[in-house]
């Protein structure tokens, strides 16, 4: 398949390109495009054949359901069986933005989208390109992250080009994603509401609106292989580069000592720590006390580990609070749950 690659800097000015993307989607095709979190691989959520193409292009396991993206609450209404008061409160506070809600689904949602679950994950993104494509097409868009399944999520168009060229109809280059990690996922199909995936909307912020929110055990740990995943995506290793990563908790001095004993290993560190490890190949992913910045750069740092051919990497662990919980959650999966405390 020939993949058309276009650049959109301004959704208003580049309306003809937005229309072209909408036409591809209306014809049952696939478009990779920017959102504020990560790039998404979009298809018409109501067309099960189009949705199946997403799974084929990504190499995604069939049992991992997709998020449906809408531009407004009116378009959401027919897709869900109920929209509880708690969902309305969260929508008021955080939409449009990086929050996904799991709700009981209506009969309109194909099983291919929900992977046979009775629920559907919905999100109202804020990125102007994504919003324009939804509005012009008039379609709810199913869109997982636009990476090959198991690779780190794409935060720049070139990541999508690397992973999906020849497998999708169109890739829209809209620059770097401002958040850099996938949306927060909360289930409102249970009581109390359950945080399934941490993101830029933090657990603390959710609790400030709903006061009672539980945190799924899979957020900071490994899923038990035998238990049913509340969010199927959480059971996969995911987000992983080819390099073998160990996540290291503790002071920088202990980290430096550990690395001095590991021949040929590379390090994923905080900004400013590289000069303190002169013998070691280092990639920095942000300042130690700025999790939003770490979030923005983590996935391109993980891809760079592979570009530079590192096989064995030790990574400085972020503080798992606020948005740091999301950074920790992704790094833990990139490390296939291998972490040590010094
Ligand atoms: O920021 C994002 O959410 C990006 C952009 C493109 O919007 N999308 C994204 O999609 O990250 P994906 O498919 O990579 O991750 C969706 C996550 C998976 O962990 C999946 O298991 C979970 O949401 N999910 C989807 N539907 C669900 C449902 N009905 N119940 C529980 N979890 C669900
Ligand atoms: Mg993904």
- Quickly list DSSP for 33-86: E--SSS-EEEEETT-HHHHHHHHHHHT--TTS--EEE-SSHHHHGGGBS---HH
Q: From first to last of its 342 residues, what are the pLDDT tens digits of the chain?
A: 999 999 999 999 999 999 999 999 999 999 999 999 999 999 999 999 999 999 999 999 999 999 999 999 999 999 999 999 999 999 999 999 999 999 999 999 999 999 999 999 999 999 999 999 999 999 999 999 999 998 999 999 999 999 999 999 999 999 999 999 999 999 999 999 999 999 999 999 999 999 899 999 989 876 655 556 677 666 655 667 889 999 999 999 999 999 999 989 999 999 999 999 999 999 999 999 999 999 999 999 999 999 999 999 999 999 999 999 999 999 999 999 999 999
Distance 225 CA to ligand 2 centre (A): 20
DSSP helix/strand/coil, 340 = strand
Are the CB atoms for 162 and 16 separated by under 8 Å? no
DSSP helix/strand/coil, 219 = helix
Distance 276 CA to ligand 1 centre (A): 39
* Separation of alpha carbons 185 and 101, rounded Å: 6
Distance 61 CA to ligand 1 centre (A): 13
CA distances from 296 to 96, 192, 307 (A): 19, 30, 19
Structure tokens that stand for 240 in this block = 């992983």
In the 8-state DSSP scheme, what is residue 234? G
Task: Supply the residue whose CA is at minimum distance from atom 31 of ligand 1.
Answer: 231
Atom of ligand 1 nearest to the CA of 199: 1
Closest ligand relative to 198 C-alpha: 1
Distance 21 CA to ligand 1 centre (A): 22
Q: Where are the alpha helices (DSSP H) in the chain?
A: 15-26, 48-58, 73-76, 85-94, 111-114, 128-137, 157-164, 203-210, 252-260, 291-307, 324-334
* Separation of alpha carbons 239 and 181, rounded Å: 10
Could you tell which of 182, 198, 219, 235 is best to mutate to test the pocket of ligand 1, judged by most ligand atoms within 8 Å of the CB? 182
Atom of ligand 1 nearest to the CA of 181: 1
β-strand 67-69 against 141-142: which pairing, if any?
antiparallel
Are the CB atoms for 10 and 125 separated by under 8 Å? no
Distance 133 CA to ligand 2 centre (A): 20
* Separation of alpha carbons 102 and 185, rounded Å: 7
Nearest to 335 by CA among 237, 249, 258: 237
* Separation of alpha carbons 34 and 82, rounded Å: 29
Closest ligand relative to 104 C-alpha: 1
Q: Which residues does ligand 1 sit against, CB inside 6 Å?
A: 35, 37-38, 40, 64-67, 100, 102, 114, 117, 119-121, 123, 143-145, 182-183, 185, 196-197, 231-234
Distance 150 CA to ligand 1 centre (A): 14
Closest ligand relative to 125 C-alpha: 1
Please, is 113 exposed, middle or buried when counting C-beta atoms within 10 Å of its C-beta (0-12, 13-18, 19+)? buried
Atom of ligand 1 nearest to the CA of 105: 29
Are the CB atoms for 76 and 103 separated by under 8 Å? no
Distance 147 CA to ligand 1 centre (A): 13
Nearest to 183 by CA among 231, 248, 140, 241: 231
Q: Indicate whether this model's pTM tops 0.85.
A: yes
């Amino acid at each position: 398949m020939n993949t058309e690659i276009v650049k959109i800097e301004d959704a208003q000015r580049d309306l003809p390109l937005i229309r072209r993307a909408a036409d591809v989607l209306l014809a049952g095709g696939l478009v990779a495009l920017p959102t504020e979190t990560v790039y998404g691989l979009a298809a018409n959520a109501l067309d099960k054949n189009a949705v199946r193409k997403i799974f084929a292009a990504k190499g995604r396991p069939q049992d991992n359901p997709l998020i449906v993206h809408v531009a407004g609450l009116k378009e959401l209404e027919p897709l869900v069986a109920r929209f509880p008061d708690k969902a309305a409160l969260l929508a008021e506070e955080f939409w449009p933005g990086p929050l996904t809600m799991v709700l009981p689904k209506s009969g309109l949602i194909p099983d291919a989208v929900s992977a046979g679950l009775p629920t559907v994950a919905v999100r109202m993104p804020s990125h102007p390109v994504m919003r324009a494509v939804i509005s012009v097409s008039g379609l709810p868009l199913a869109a997982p992250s636009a990476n090959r399944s198991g690779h780190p999520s794409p935060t720049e168009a070139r990541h999508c080009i690397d992973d999906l060229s020849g497998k999708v109809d169109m890739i829209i280059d809209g620059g770097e994603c401002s958040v850099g990690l996938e949306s927060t996922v909360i289930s409102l199909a249970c009581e109390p509401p359950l945080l399934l995936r941490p993101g830029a909307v933090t657990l603390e912020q959710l609790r400030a609106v709903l006061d009672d929110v539980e945190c799924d055990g899979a957020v900071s740990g490994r899923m038990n292989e035998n238990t049913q995943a509340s969010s199927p995506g959480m059971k996969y290793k995911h987000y992983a580069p080819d390099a073998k990563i160990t996540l290291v908790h503790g002071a920088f001095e202990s980290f430096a000592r550990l690395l001095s004993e590991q021949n040929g290993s590379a390090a994923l560190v905080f900004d400013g720590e590289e000069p303190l490890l002169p013998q070691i190949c280092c990639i920095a992913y942000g300042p130690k006390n700025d999790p939003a910045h770490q979030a923005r750069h983590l996935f391109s740092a993980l891809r760079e580990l592979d570009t530079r051919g590192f096989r064995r990497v030790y990574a400085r662990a972020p503080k798992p609070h606020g948005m740091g919980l999301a950074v920790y959650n992704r790094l833990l999966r990139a490390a296939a749950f291998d972490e040590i405390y010094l």
